[in-house]
């Protein structure tokens, strides 16, 4: 594949963030276990890739405080939040150290030992199959080995810098 030489300036950070704020996304807490310790962070950058085989991707900032755990992890879990779980979104997106984040919410374990949120909208337990660095982030590709769905049909969304119910 040919990659073109850059001939255009890129938009600045503020312009990009304003534009991106218009895209609605689910709100997800992505978790893993490393060295017997649980880690997790809030991510909007979760995306379906393929249903054959079931594959999704998650983007993680390589400068994030829990990157070291995800860098070594073979498994991770995408826990998509429900309306009413805004506090979990804020906690896992904030500055609280990793281990203290799990004090909030009811956390179980998946097939591979990764933390699974008991009352998430949906949880996707994944096996890492590929990882690609792009700009400041790493894209983690995961094959989905287990899914747990909430009985209630609802999802927490974030759009235009506010939470809404989907």
Size of the site for a second copy (CB under 8 A): 75
Residue whose CB is less far from a second copy, 50 or 65: 50
DSSP sequence for 79-134: EEPPTT-HHHHHHHTSSS-HHHHTTSS-EEE-TTS-EEETT-SEEEEEEEEEEEEE
The CB-of-44 to a second copy minimum distance in angstroms stands at: 7
Whole-angstrom CA distances from 136 to 38, 61, 73 are 24, 6, 19
The CB-of-119 to a second copy minimum distance in angstroms stands at: 13
Based on the shown chain and the rule CB under 8 A, indicate whether residue 93 belongs to the binding site for a second copy. Answer: no
SS3 content of the chain, % helix, strand, coil (to 5): 15, 45, 40
Structure tokens at 18: 């304003």
The CB-of-156 to a second copy minimum distance in angstroms stands at: 8
Residue whose CB is less far from a second copy, 96 or 122: 122
> Residue 14: in which H helix or E strand, if any?
helix 13-20
In 3D space, the residue among 71, 63, 81, 66 whose CA is nearest the CA of residue 25 turns out to be: 81
Q: Which of residues 71-90 bind a second copy (CB under 8 A)?
A: 71, 74-75, 80
Based on the shown chain and the rule CB under 8 A, indicate whether residue 41 belongs to the binding site for a second copy. Answer: no
Based on the shown chain and the rule CB under 8 A, indicate whether residue 23 belongs to the binding site for a second copy. Answer: yes
Cα separation, 62 vs 13, whole angstroms: 18
Member of 35, 36, 49, 88 binding a second copy (CB under 8 A)? 49
Residue whose CB is less far from a second copy, 53 or 84: 53
Q: Which of residues 127-156 bind a second copy (CB under 8 A)?
A: 127-132, 134-137, 139, 141, 143-147, 149-150, 153-155
Residue whose CB is less far from a second copy, 17 or 99: 17
In 3D space, the residue among 38, 164, 58 whose CA is nearest the CA of residue 109 turns out to be: 38
């Amino acid at each position: 594949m040919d990659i073109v030489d850059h001939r255009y300036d890129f938009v600045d950070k503020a312009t990009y963030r304003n534009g991106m704020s218009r895209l609605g996304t689910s709100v997800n807490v992505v978790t893993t276990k490393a060295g017997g310790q649980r880690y997790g962070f809030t991510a909007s950058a979760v995306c379906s890739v393929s249903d054959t085989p079931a594959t999704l991707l998650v983007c993680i900032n390589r400068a994030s405080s829990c990157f070291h755990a995800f860098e070594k992890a073979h498994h991770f879990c995408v826990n998509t939040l429900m309306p009413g779980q805004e506090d979990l979104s804020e906690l896992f997106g904030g500055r609280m150290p990793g281990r203290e984040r799990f004090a909030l919410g009811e956390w179980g374990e998946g097939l591979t030992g990764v933390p699974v949120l008991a009352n998430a909208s949906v949880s996707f337990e994944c096996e890492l199959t590929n990882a690609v660095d792009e700009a400041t982030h790493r894209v983690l590709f995961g094959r989905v080995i287990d899914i747990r769905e909430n009985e209630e049909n609802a999802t927490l969304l974030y759009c235009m810098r506010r939470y809404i119910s989907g």
